[in-house]
């Protein structure tokens, strides 16, 4: 059967409502997948398609969206269905119309993200499954100790991938050994985090409601999201005001920010190469005495 017929059937099964696809429009802007708006004239959905080998990535994205959706704290597109159709992997989710937002929307984004960060997990740091960050694998085995989790599953893992790409980090071992000292005295709760919160993954609907997209969900130190929101151009100031009013950051965040963003910069080296390797080395120099 043709992909579009299968998709229409799957959407109808998942929603319990008839869906006869009559319009599909390609959407640009994504880094990894082909994206479409699909519609039956009344209802619209957002569809991403990739090679069948990428099914696990879509599954993890759908379950990550569901984890956040079910927290009732911040809006994410509701995942509808995912799987294989005509040899392609796909994910279908709620279609959202984005607008430009205003100061109030960004204040609310901060408040809602803080509410999401109040959701914790007794199993500790990690998640029930591995997922991806960009399209780099991200390992999430449940771990009680944050220092251990961050050092092993985040930094060491990305370093090991970077070696395969020819990355050279002269002070890598020194940095890994210094992680306990850099996080000394910090005792974060395992908070539900977005995991990849740069400005491309935060938006506002036409009705002014804040939305986060494309998560790399796990339970971790909430500061990882705030740190990343400051990495590639800060979010609008009201976002930080709203967050801080709801859930002030712990002392020492400014130092930890560089440690947490190092993960994303090594990942960028793994995804794009180029100058991200030297940027990572500069960050390591900043962190070490």
Query: Three-class SS of residue 170?
Result: coil
The closest alpha carbon to 32, from 132, 158, 162, belongs to: 132
Which residue number has the CB closest to ligand ADP? 30
Site residues (vs ligand ADP, CB under 6 A): 27, 29-33, 35, 46, 48, 77, 93-96, 213-214
Residue 51 · residue 57 · CB < 8 Å: no
**CA 222 to CA 73: how far, in whole Å?**
14
Task: Report the residue number, 93 or 224, with the smaller CB distance to ligand ADP.
Answer: 93
How near is the Cβ of 18 to ligand ADP at its closest, in Å?
Answer: 21
How near is the Cβ of 178 to ligand ADP at its closest, in Å?
Answer: 33
Task: Report the residue number, 80 or 259, with the smaller CB distance to ligand ADP.
Answer: 80
Residue 196: active-site member:
yes
**CA 266 to CA 272: how far, in whole Å?**
10
Q: Which residues pair with 49 in a beta bridge?
A: 34, 90
How near is the Cβ of 232 to ligand ADP at its closest, in Å?
Answer: 14
Task: Report the residue number, 27 or 254, with the smaller CB distance to ligand ADP.
Answer: 27
Helix and strand element counts for the chain (H, E): 10, 11
Q: Which of 148, 196, 244, 250 is catalytic?
A: 196
Task: Report the residue number, 132 or 158, with the smaller CB distance to ligand ADP.
Answer: 132
How near is the Cβ of 183 to ligand ADP at its closest, in Å?
Answer: 31
**CA 211 to CA 104: how far, in whole Å?**
13
- Catalytic residue numbers read 196
């Amino acid at each position: 059967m043709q992909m579009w017929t299968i998709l229409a059937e799957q959407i109808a099964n998942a929603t319990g409502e008839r869906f006869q696809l009559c319009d599909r429009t390609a959407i640009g802007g994504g880094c990894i997948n082909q994206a479409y708006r699909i519609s039956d004239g009344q209802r619209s959905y957002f569809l991403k398609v990739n090679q069948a080998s990428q099914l696990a990535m879509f599954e993890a994205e759908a379950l990550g969206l569901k984890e956040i959706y079910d927290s009732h704290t911040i809006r994410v597109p509701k995942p509808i269905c995912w799987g294989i159709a005509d040899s392609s992997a796909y994910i279908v989710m709620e279609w959202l119309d984005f607008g430009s937002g205003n100061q109030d929307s960004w204040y609310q984004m901060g408040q809602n993200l803080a509410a999401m960060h109040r959701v914790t997990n007794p199993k500790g740091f990690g998640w029930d499954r591995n997922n991806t960050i960009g399209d780099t694998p991200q390992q999430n085995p449940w771990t009680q100790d944050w220092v251990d989790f961050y050092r092993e599953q985040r930094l060491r893992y990305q370093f090991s991938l970077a070696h395969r790409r020819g990355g050279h980090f002269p002070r890598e071992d020194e940095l890994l050994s210094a992680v306990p000292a850099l996080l000394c005295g910090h005792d974060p709760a395992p908070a539900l985090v977005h995991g990849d919160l740069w400005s491309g993954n935060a938006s506002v609907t036409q009705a002014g409601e804040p939305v986060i997209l494309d998560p790399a969900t796990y339970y971790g130190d909430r500061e990882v999201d705030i740190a990343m929101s400051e990495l590639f151009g800060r979010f609008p100031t009201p976002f930080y005001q709203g967050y801080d009013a709801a859930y002030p950051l712990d002392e020492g965040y400014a130092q930890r920010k560089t440690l947490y963003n190092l993960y994303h910069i090594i990942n960028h080296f793994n995804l794009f190469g180029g100058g991200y390797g030297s940027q990572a080395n500069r960050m390591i120099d900043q962190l070490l005495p």
